[in-house]
Amino acid sequence: MTDTTFIKMNGLGNDFAIFDSREQPLSLTAEQAAFVANRDDGVGCDQVIVLEPSSKADVFMRILNADGSEVDACGNATRCVGRIVAGELNRAGVTIETNAGVLIAQIIGQDQVTVDMGVPKFGWEDIPLMEEFRDTRMIELQIGPIDAPVLHSPSVVNVGNPHSIFWVDDVDAHDLAKFGPMLENHPMFPERANISLAQVTSKNSLILHVWERGAGLTKACGTAACAAAVCAARKKLTGRNVSVSLPGGDLQIHWREVDDHILMTGPIEVEYKGTVDLS
């Protein structure tokens, strides 16, 4: 298998190598996906995306992390794929099937895309957690000494994938690269989890740093932004309209009150088209 074409795109620096398997079937192994994602020897990206035919939507989006593992949802990738498919179909709105369900992407101008990420799941068994917690706005989990924990009492939610959000006074005061791997693989999370540090700066804004499951530190994570926004609103730290500032830029999150759907809006960028030898 040689010279396979891809498109390199990013949403706030959260970058993807996108392969089109709708006409010429392409089945990437975990090893091939990890090679493509490798920033030294491969293309270099946070996730590898494969577009496939769908009987339910305009396209099916398969998502492979930088370590080759498959995940069910990726908000920024959904926005990038939405831009591709909308351009192909000459439509402002398109549907994208994922393992987490069918999502709707709406093009807002040349480089802004809104995605309806659906309804968040707060039940402990839906996240999932290893043990029952009736109130997932705050669970018993901490890092550090019992009497002086460094991080503690995170909010948890599933937004197509599991998220754990630790509320801190200063996101820069903690070494997420150190704690991220430990927390991602904590026994509390049987399917691992995305780990975030969130700093609320006003009733309609927060700052977020993310350790992404299977990818590590990332400039932006769309589902993490959604997760932090809905958990902040649920804890009454913010309202339902929040600007989430990530290292790569800002995402606008609206947790719609009428049906509890999460709408995420932000920019996308096409970096280049290229080929890679997968043999």
Catalytic residue positions, numbered: 74, 221
**CA pseudo-torsion sign 98, 44, 67, 22:** positive
Q: 236 phi and psi, to 5 degrees?
A: 65, 30
What is the DSSP secondary-structure string of the chain?
---EEEEEEEETTEEEEEEE-SSS-----HHHHHHHH-TTTS---SEEEEEE--SSSSEEEEEEETTS-EES--HHHHHHHHHHHHHHHT-SEEEEEETTEEEEEEEETTTEEEEE----B--TTTTT-SS--S-TTS-S-EES-TTS-SEE--EEEESSSEEEEEE-S-GGGS-HHHHHHHHHT-TT-TT--EEEEEEEEETTEEEEEEEETTTEEES--HHHHHHHHHHHHHTTSS-SEEEEEETTEEEEEEE-TTT--EEEEEE-EEEEEEEE---
User: Cα 180 from chain centroid?
Assistant: 15
Structure tokens at 77: 């990738």
